[in-house]
Amino acid sequence: MREALTLTIWLVLLLGCVGVAWRQAFGEAATGPYALAAGVCIGFGVTALLVQESCFRMGADFVGSLGSILIRTMGPLLTVAVISKFLHEPQIFPAFVCCYLLTLLSETILSVRLVNRWDKRRAERSSAKSAK
């Protein structure tokens, strides 16, 4: 849990620093699309991790991992495809790519830690059953 909190804080700080650089590079008008992209990518990332956690609790490890990858990838991609038609912002796609790659890094680290945690619990349970 502490690692997840640390990575989340790191991600928010990193997205904030990149957001400042984004504003300096593309101007004040690009701040809105960047904030939208960051919010969407973080939202789908958290949703993917929650789906993975709930599937692991039900015993569907593989389904949880695949569902997490699907949500993490398709959510931002479909959002940028729909939003770009209505928003007509030239910087919306690069903003999504930038935010997606930054959030993907931390989500992957958290996902791997989650899988490792569940593997350890499963090994402990099987060793406890074999000891009986």
Helix, strand, or coil (residue 92): helix
Going by pLDDT thresholds of 50, 70 and 90, the confidence category of residue 76 is very high
In the block, which residue shows the tokens 């956690």?
Answer: 53
CB-based contacts of 128, cutoff 8 Å, min separation 6: none
Claim: this prediction has a pTM higher than 0.85: no
Higher-scoring residue by pLDDT: 126, 16: 16
The rounded percent of the chain whose pLDDT value lies above 70 is 96
Q: Confidence class of residue 61 from pLDDT cuts 50, 70 and 90?
A: confident
